[in-house]
Structure 1
Amino acid sequence: MFDLGKFLDWFVVLVFAHVGLTVVAAAIGRAAERSPEARPIQGDALPEGQVAREQRANLRFCLVIPAALALALQGGWITWGPDTLGWGIASFFVCSVVFDVYFYGLHRLLHTRPLMRFHRLHHQSRVTTPWSAQSVSTVEALGWALGYVGVPWLLGHVAPVSLIGYFVYLFYNVFGNIIGHTNVELGPPSLTRSPAVWLAHPYTFHALHHARFTRHFGFGSTFMDRLAGTEWPDWVDAYAQVMAGRPLRQHGKTEPPA
Structure 2
Amino acid sequence: MLSVNNVRVHYGMAEALRGVSLEVAKGEIVAMIGRNGAGKTTLLKAITGLVKLREGDIIYQGERITGMQAHAIMRLGIGHVPQGRQVFGDQTVEDNLILGAFTKIKQQPRQVRDWLEREYTRFPRLKERSKQLAGTLSGGEQQMLALSRALMSDPEMLVLDEPSMGLSPLFVKQILDTVIQLRKEGKTILLVEQLAAAALSISDRAYVLSSGQIEMSGTASDLLHDEKVVRTYLGA
Q: TM-score, normalised by structure 1?
A: 0.27
* Higher helix proportion: 1
The structure whose Rg is larger is 1
TM-score, normalised to structure 2, is 0.28
More strand by share: 2
